[in-house]
Amino acid sequence: MFLFSFPSRPSYLSGCKPSALATALAASMLLGACSSVPLPPWVTLPSRPATATNPPVAFPPAESGVTVQTSPIAPPSVIANAPTETPAPYNASVAARFPAPSIVYSTPGLQPNRTTFTTDEEIHSWLRDQETALSRSAGIKAALLTIGTSQQGQPLEALVLTRGTGTDPAALKATSRPTVLLVGQQHGDEPAGSEALLVIARELAQGLLQPMLERINVIIVPRANPDGSRKGEHGTANGLDLNHDHLLLNIPEAQALAQLARDYKPMVVLDAHEYNPVAQYQEKFGALQKYDALFQYATTANLPEFLTKADEEWYRRPLLAALKGQGLSTEWYYTTSADPADKKIAMGSALPTTSRNVNGLKNSISLLVETRGTGLGRLHIQRRVHTHVTAITSVLGSTSQRASELGQLIPYLDKEVSSLACKEQAVVEAVNTPAQYDLQMLDPVTGADKLVTVDWDSALALRTLKSRVRPCGYWLAASSKTAVGRLRRHGIEVLQVLEQGSLLGDLYRETSRSSGSQQQPLKSDATDGFPAIKAEVALTRGVIDAPAGSYYVPLNQPLANLAMAALEPDTQSSYFANRLLDNLASVARVMSAPSLKTEELP
What is residue 101's DSSP assignment? P
Examine the domain organization and report whether 482 and 381 are in the same domain: no
Confidence of residue 60 (pLDDT cuts 50, 70, 90): very low
Confidence of residue 138 (pLDDT cuts 50, 70, 90): confident
Q: What's the pLDDT score for residue 134?
A: 85
Q: In what order do the strands lie in the sheet with 425-442?
A: 288-289, 425-442, 449-469, 345-346, 335-336
Closest by CA to 158, choosing from 127, 125, 126, is 127
Stretch (H or E) spanning 229: helix 226-231
- Under 8 Å between Cβ of 488 and 601: yes
Domain tally, the chain: 2
User: In terms of residue numbers, what domain contains 372?
Assistant: 2-32+39-44+120-418
Examine the domain organization and report whether 371 and 229 are in the same domain: yes
Q: What pLDDT, in 10s, does the model give residues 253-264?
A: 999 999 999 999
Residue 570 lies in a domain: yes
Does position 56 have pLDDT exceeding 80, yes or no?
no
C-alpha distance from residue 462 to each of 306, 313, 423, 431, 459 (Å):
17, 20, 22, 5, 6
**How far, in Å, CA of 99 to CA of 83, rounded?**
11
Confidence of residue 516 (pLDDT cuts 50, 70, 90): low
Examine the domain organization and report whether 306 and 398 are in the same domain: yes
Residue 96 lies in a domain: no
Q: What pLDDT, in 10s, does the model give residues 235-253?
A: 999 999 999 999 999 999 9
The backbone torsions φ and ψ at residue 509, rounded to the nearest 5 degrees and listed phi first, read -120, 120
Residue 100 lies in a domain: no
Examine the domain organization and report whether 290 and 366 are in the same domain: yes
Examine the domain organization and report whether 264 and 384 are in the same domain: yes
Q: What's the pLDDT score for residue 88?
A: 54
Q: Which amino acid is at 459?
A: A
Task: Please state the pTM of the whole predicted model.
Answer: 0.86
Least confident of 29-38, 413-422, 575-584: 29-38
Examine the domain organization and report whether 411 and 484 are in the same domain: no
Write down which residue in 387, 418, 449 finishes a domain.
Answer: 418
Rg (C-alpha) for the chain, rounded Å, is 24
Stretch (H or E) spanning 248: none
Confidence of residue 601 (pLDDT cuts 50, 70, 90): confident
Write down which residue in 402, 418, 434 finishes a domain.
Answer: 418
- Torsion from C-alpha of 405, 407, 412, 414, nearest 10 degrees: 140
Examine the domain organization and report whether 582 and 501 are in the same domain: yes
Examine the domain organization and report whether 322 and 387 are in the same domain: yes
What is residue 176's DSSP assignment? T
Does position 349 have pLDDT exceeding 60, yes or no?
yes
**What ranges in 117-225 are assigned the alpha helix state H?**
120-135, 169-174, 192-206
DSSP 3-state of 29: helix
Write down which residue in 396, 418, 440 finishes a domain.
Answer: 418
DSSP state string for 277-324? SSHHHHHHHS-EE--SEEEEE---TT--HHHHHHIIIIIIHHHHHHHH
Does position 58 have pLDDT exceeding 80, yes or no?
no
Examine the domain organization and report whether 497 and 380 are in the same domain: no
Residue 520 lies in a domain: yes
CB under 8 Å to 187, separation ≥6 — which residues? 225, 228, 234, 235, 241, 242, 243, 273, 274, 374
Residue 395 lies in a domain: yes
Residue 440 lies in a domain: no
Examine the domain organization and report whether 153 and 247 are in the same domain: yes
Closest by CA to 119, choosing from 194, 184, 202, is 194
% of the chain at pLDDT higher than 70: 82
Residue 101 lies in a domain: no
Residue 370 lies in a domain: yes
Examine the domain organization and report whether 382 and 237 are in the same domain: yes
Confidence of residue 43 (pLDDT cuts 50, 70, 90): very low
Q: Which amino acid is at 573?
A: S
Q: Can you give the CATH number for the domain in which 255 is found?
A: 3.40.630.10
C-alpha distance from residue 79 to each of 20, 311, 408, 568 (Å):
9, 34, 41, 53
Beta-strand relationship, 141-149 and 155-162: antiparallel
Examine the domain organization and report whether 521 and 408 are in the same domain: no
